[in-house]
Structure 1
Amino acid sequence: MNFIIGIVGLAGHIALLLWGTRMVQTGIQRAFGPSLRTFLGRTLSNRFKAFVAGLGVTAILQSSTATGLMASGFAAGGLVGLMPALSVMLGANVGTTLIVQVLAFDVAALYPALILAGFIMFKRNGNPQIHDLGRVVIGLGFMLLALHQLLGMMTQYEGSAALSFILKSIAAAPILSVLLAAALTWAAHSSVAIVLLIMSLATKGLIDPYQAFALVLGANLGTAINPVVEGNSDGDLASRRLPFGNLLTRVVGVIAALAALGPLTEIMGILDDDASRSVANFHTVFNLVLALLFMPLLQPYADFLVKMLPQKINDADPSRPRYLDAGAKETPVVALGAASREALRLTDVLKEMITGAKAAVSSTDRRALAELRKKDNILDSLNTAIKTYLTSIDPDELGEADRVRMDEILLFSMNLEQAGDVLDQNLLPHLAKRVRRGLTFSKLGQEELCLLFDRLVSNLDTAAALFMSQDERLARSLADEKVFFRRVERETTAAHFDRLRKGGLDTMETSSLHLDLIRDMKSINSHLIAATAYPVLEKQGELLQSRLSSIEPAIQ
């Protein structure tokens, strides 16, 4: 019975450690995720910048997996080469060791202060960033609390014959230690948590340094398995180049370190005789040496991975361009026509998203909403492909009319992609909030929203026709829609305030949500007008520069 209670207690403390690690990762991603992604995307110009960026982003996120997903997205989208993406992963592997270095010191006494400070920050709902950072601080407190409890629990088992027998049996064959730690890390999805657990075992003398280092090697191997196993399952081997390449570097490093583990153990013992610090140092040194060895070889290594994992051409993939013929770039007028046809595909995807959003006004299907949000990735991919295609045309081959048309295509593509972002980041999350909170719009409210969605679809069809025809009358008609949506927003806002004055608290939340949706639709409509109507009207000299009165204020 005591054994079962002990196992449950150990599992609970490990679960707390994992949960604390997750809170740190998710809190940072919520607070700084988009900024970190932008920063990472800007620094992938060469291997050295990419390495530093990967190290820095992972040191903040404390998740090499999250950094790897960002880098994989850039590489799969063709925005960066495989070589700098591999360099990012080398930096990420070093970055994830930094929190282990910090926690290797005796800082467990700080956990009550961290949890208290984090709770106070978390309650600051008025400032989303402080709220998310509070989650991070609470997570750190939980990690320290779990480590403190683990050390206390390990003390109880220092003299345990059963535990000693199990650990000694594994220690007899270092490869078993490597495989055990790799399996645990794969299951836990966190090398940080497993290395911290190894540090606890080493600190209490339950394992010797040799076995501790073998377990650390396993943890480094296990953290690279998840992206390969759980990666893109569409059958395209090219999408697995980065995770497979990262795993292969780890396998090479683990085999080499395992062969020299005896001398390495002696060297690490000379550098620091503290068991906890020694484990953390070995973890960092392993990843640093691996990075130094592979950095000069990244280009041939990337070429090898490209040959081994060729790209699969999937004609059914909606995010894959269909009309961007590379050979047509020699004849700009043909290339511009191909880009125009590709740009019209954006309207089809956006229409599917708007139609799906209309259905979600009364539906409770969360899965359908999640599928709709994935369509924004199609818009992003097509917009990127169109921009890359057009900007690669030799500018000397373009006439004045060709340059104007190119700008029109780029503006159209960009605005439709941004309209998709409004749907993905604002409108669909508002609908998801309705489902999550069990809210229901009134019958009149549902009818109004559905009519506005229908009007938005009609305006999208008009924008597509205008994009091809450049007709001034059509442009005026579409531009007038901005006045309509502005009036609807004004009237809805007035009705919302009227409900609040009358004390209609029961409908306050749905009324506020209704207003949010109308504002989102107004924003989407504005992108449609900016994509097509404004350029035509501006070309004809029919567009005012400002809605302000032309009467200049007197100069005092």
Structure 2
Amino acid sequence: MSEIHYLPMSVGLFGGLALFLYGMEKMSLALKRAAGDKMRTILARLTSNRLAGVVTGAGVTAVIQSSSVTTVLVVGFISAGLMNLSQAVGVIMGANIGTTVTAQIIAFKVTKAALAMVAIGFFLEFLAKRDINKHYGSMLFGLGLIFLGMNMMSEAMSPLRTYQPFIELMTHMDNVLLSILVAALFTALVQSSSATTGIIIVLAGQGFISLESGIALAMGANIGTCITALLAAIGKSREALQAAAVHISFNVLGVALWLPLLALLSAISISISPNYPQLVGIDKLAAELPRQIANANTLFNLLNTILMVPFAGAFVWLARKLIPHRSASPSEKKAKAISPKYINESFIETPDIALDHAQLELGRVGRRVCNMLDLLPPLAMNYASSADKSTALTKLNQIESIEKEVDELHAAILAYLGRLRTAPLSDKQSNQQIKLISITDQMESAADLIVSGILPLAYKALNEGTTASPMMRRTLDAIQNRVQQAMLDCVNGIRRNDDALAHKVLSAKREINSQLNSVLAHQAERLAEQNPTRLRIFRYEMEWVEQLKRIYTLSKRIAKLQLRKRHLIVNDH
């Protein structure tokens, strides 16, 4: 028995593992950034068709190389109300198929090209001018680190081939249940089933484990990867927790289903994998086992999905039974009303999706500003009864409450957009981020203007019982309605990415200016009247019109920001 030098072996093993895990993270991040826009489009077009969901889940996961990330994205979409649980089931099932691509790549003997990949990827990442090429360079660099880490681990563990205590220890891995448990715990720790499968293939490449043990370890990795989705769902909606429950039940049931059929799965994988009859012993195992385990892993996930897709409804039913919906308390409803709905930390690593969701959240701010304008009673209205006057006061109080919600959402959106800066953004993403920050500020300014500029006038006129003439009443109402419509068009233009609505906001300038001129002309005639309250009414009316004009100016600025593609400095006086 040869002597084992533990320190060099440990350094090589853990150093290789660190490189392997870092390479996985770097490659996954680069792929997400390179494919973020396409991934967003694919997921946005997802239909309730289960097969379409499976294909989408498999495709997206094959691109970003992480079923955990795909499931976390799904949980985020559900908590944002953009996807329901029935749609999510297909995506979750498909994600398990997509994640097997990593094992297939690793199982091919391309580790000799590791240093070449690292070198080419490094120079491409640092010398490329276009962001997309930088992402591809980063992806290749990460892939090279994966193979380099595998080489280091393989070389570090090679002395163990003849070390009897280790050989005896590995014989315990023939215990299938123990193998599943070990792999599940390790995967939960590193939060990557692809990383676990890669290490399994390294062990197989050294001939340390049998085929059935390797398959059992891969099955355990499938269970362990559920922990990421579960962590992402904590604190989210009940439906998001149900999606995590679907993920767990699907993966656990799949393992339980194939456990008695492990020998059959092994036989099938042997029959479809290449064999090397010229080799014997450990060398034969090292050559054949990696491909056999990778193929068995793909078969296991593919057949699981095919068998269980028809029963997707049953998984939804089970999840809803395990985690039933409950009625929110009044305090929870209030908290929910002022908390962000669309923005989610899980989207930060995919800026295209994060920016889209920030824009949706911004739409919520805009709707509240429009609601504030809608609740605004006409200035100097002649109320027929005290009940009507009381209703008007209630609306003014509501406006103040909504303004607090606007402030909360404004702060949350700005903090979220700020966190996007922790990772590199492309020029396009950076411009979009700056644009959303500017629009958010303009929306919040409009809400402040309503509360600080218009509300005091409304309260004064209401408390003093001031009334305007019928003709002035009609003119003021026309201006107020037009400004309100411009803000509504502005908000809808942002929510729908509709440039036509932004142009409509800008084209309203002539009509609003004409209405303002009518107010001035009418005021000039009324000043000659011998009415002791006329001067006070004049001041109220002119200040009211001025504040409405300022709100329209903010609407124009927002519309211009929406239409401006690159240069985002606004000069609007």
Same fold (TM over 0.5): yes
Identify the match of residue 294 of structure 1 among 287, 302, 308. Answer: 308
C-alpha deviation, 1:227, in angstroms:
1.7
Q: In the alignment, which residue of structure 2 is the partner of 1:95?
A: 98
Checking the alignment, whether the CA contact within 8 Å between 2:122 and 2:141 is kept in structure 1 is yes
Q: In the alignment, which residue of structure 2 is the partner of 1:394?
A: none
Checking the alignment, whether the CA contact within 8 Å between 2:366 and 2:443 is kept in structure 1 is no
Distance in 2 separating the partners of 1:253 and 1:455 = 52
Which deviates more from structure 2 when the two are superposed, residues 71-80 or residues 114-123?
71-80
Q: In the alignment, which residue of structure 2 is the partner of 1:217?
A: 219
Distance in 2 separating the partners of 1:80 and 1:110 = 42
Deviation readout 1:475-516 (Å, 9 max, x if unpaired): 88999xxxxxxxxxxxxxxxxxxxxxxxxxxxxxxxxxxxxx
Identify the match of residue 133 of structure 1 among 127, 136, 147. Answer: 136
Deviation readout 1:317-348 (Å, 9 max, x if unpaired): 579775xxxxxxxxxxxxxxxxxxxxxx79xx
Change (3 A) 1:94 1:417: farther
Q: In the alignment, which residue of structure 1 is the partner of 2:520?
A: none
Q: Name which one, 1 or 2, has greater alpha-carbon Rg.
A: 2
Q: In the alignment, which residue of structure 1 is the partner of 2:233?
A: 232
1:158-173 counterparts in 2 under 5 A?
158-171=161-174, 173=175
Q: In the alignment, which residue of structure 1 is the partner of 2:387?
A: none
Identify the match of residue 116 of structure 1 among 103, 115, 119. Answer: 119
Deviation readout 1:219-260 (Å, 9 max, x if unpaired): 1111122322x1333275432111111111111111122222
Specify the code of the residue in structure 2 equivalent to 1:60.
V
SS of 1:79 mapped into structure 2: coil
Distance in 1 separating the partners of 2:15 and 2:87 = 40
Change (3 A) 1:227 1:380: farther
Change (3 A) 1:134 1:422: farther
Q: In the alignment, which residue of structure 2 is the partner of 1:487?
A: none
Checking the alignment, whether the CA contact within 8 Å between 2:104 and 2:291 is kept in structure 1 is yes
Q: Does 1:208 align with 2:210?
A: yes
Distance in 2 separating the partners of 1:127 and 1:74 = 30
SS of 1:212 mapped into structure 2: helix
Specify the code of the residue in structure 2 equivalent to 1:472.
I
C-alpha deviation, 1:179, in angstroms:
0.3
Q: Does 1:48 align with 2:30?
A: no
Distance in 2 separating the partners of 1:122 and 1:280 = 30
Q: In the alignment, which residue of structure 1 is the partner of 2:14?
A: 11
Q: Does 1:305 align with 2:319?
A: yes
Deviation readout 1:447-496 (Å, 9 max, x if unpaired): xxxxx9999754332368989997737988999xxxxxxxxxxxxxxxxx
Checking the alignment, whether the CA contact within 8 Å between 2:35 and 2:63 is kept in structure 1 is no
Q: In the alignment, which residue of structure 2 is the partner of 1:333?
A: none
Provide structure 1 residue ranges, at least 5 long, that are not aligned to the other structure.
323-344, 354-372, 387-414, 434-451, 480-526, 548-556
Distance in 1 separating the partners of 2:99 and 2:442 = 50
1:364-375 counterparts in 2 under 5 A?
none
Checking the alignment, whether the CA contact within 8 Å between 1:238 and 1:312 is kept in structure 2 is no
Q: In the alignment, which residue of structure 1 is the partner of 2:75?
A: 72
SS of 2:40 mapped into structure 1: helix
Distance in 2 separating the partners of 1:48 and 1:454 = 43
Q: In the alignment, which residue of structure 1 is the partner of 2:5?
A: 2
Identify the match of residue 446 of structure 2 among 459, 463, 467. Answer: 459
Checking the alignment, whether the CA contact within 8 Å between 1:466 and 1:475 is kept in structure 2 is no
1:266-415 counterparts in 2 under 5 A?
266-272=267-273, 273=275, 274-314=288-328, 315-316=330-331, 376=358, 379=361, 382=364
Q: In the alignment, which residue of structure 1 is the partner of 2:179?
A: 177
C-alpha deviation, 1:188, in angstroms:
1.3
Q: In the alignment, which residue of structure 1 is the partner of 2:479?
A: 472
Deviation readout 1:10-61 (Å, 9 max, x if unpaired): 1221121111000011112223324312321212331111111111111110
Distance in 1 separating the partners of 2:304 and 2:365 = 37
Change (3 A) 1:385 1:52: farther
TM-score normalised to the size of structure 1? 0.63
Distance in 1 separating the partners of 2:30 and 2:447 = 37
Specify the code of the residue in structure 2 equivalent to 1:192.
S
Change (3 A) 1:463 1:217: same
C-alpha deviation, 1:303, in angstroms:
2.4
Deviation readout 1:270-315 (Å, 9 max, x if unpaired): 3324211000001100100110111001123212322321224445
Provide structure 2 residue ranges, at least 5 long, that are not aligned to the other structure.
276-287, 344-354, 369-405, 425-438, 459-475, 487-498, 515-551, 561-573
C-alpha deviation, 1:73, in angstroms:
1.8
Q: Does 1:104 align with 2:86?
A: no
**Root mean square deviation of aligned Cα:** 4.6
Which deviates more from structure 2 when the two are superposed, residues 422-431 or residues 207-216?
422-431
Change (3 A) 1:429 1:81: closer
C-alpha deviation, 1:114, in angstroms:
1.3
Higher relative contact order (CA 8 A, sep 6+): 2
1:141-156 counterparts in 2 under 5 A?
141-156=144-159
Distance in 1 separating the partners of 2:259 and 2:423 = 50
Identify the match of residue 24 of structure 1 among 22, 27, 52. Answer: 27
Which deviates more from structure 2 when the two are superposed, residues 65-74 or residues 268-277?
268-277
Identify the match of residue 199 of structure 1 among 198, 201, 217. Answer: 201
Q: In the alignment, which residue of structure 2 is the partner of 1:247?
A: 248
Specify the code of the residue in structure 1 equivalent to 2:254.
G
1:415-426 counterparts in 2 under 5 A?
423=414
Distance in 1 separating the partners of 2:47 and 2:166 = 47
Specify the code of the residue in structure 1 equivalent to 2:187.
T
Change (3 A) 1:36 1:316: farther
Distance in 1 separating the partners of 2:137 and 2:14 = 26
Checking the alignment, whether the CA contact within 8 Å between 1:321 and 1:382 is kept in structure 2 is no
Specify the code of the residue in structure 2 equivalent to 1:175.
L
Distance in 2 separating the partners of 1:196 and 1:178 = 15
Change (3 A) 1:165 1:380: farther
Q: How many residues of Structure 1 are paired with residues of Structure 2 in the alignment? A: 407
Checking the alignment, whether the CA contact within 8 Å between 2:79 and 2:236 is kept in structure 1 is no
SS of 1:44 mapped into structure 2: coil
Specify the code of the residue in structure 2 equivalent to 1:260.
L
Distance in 2 separating the partners of 1:216 and 1:421 = 41
SS of 2:162 mapped into structure 1: coil
1:470-509 counterparts in 2 under 5 A?
472=479
Specify the code of the residue in structure 2 equivalent to 1:242.
A
Checking the alignment, whether the CA contact within 8 Å between 1:202 and 1:275 is kept in structure 2 is yes
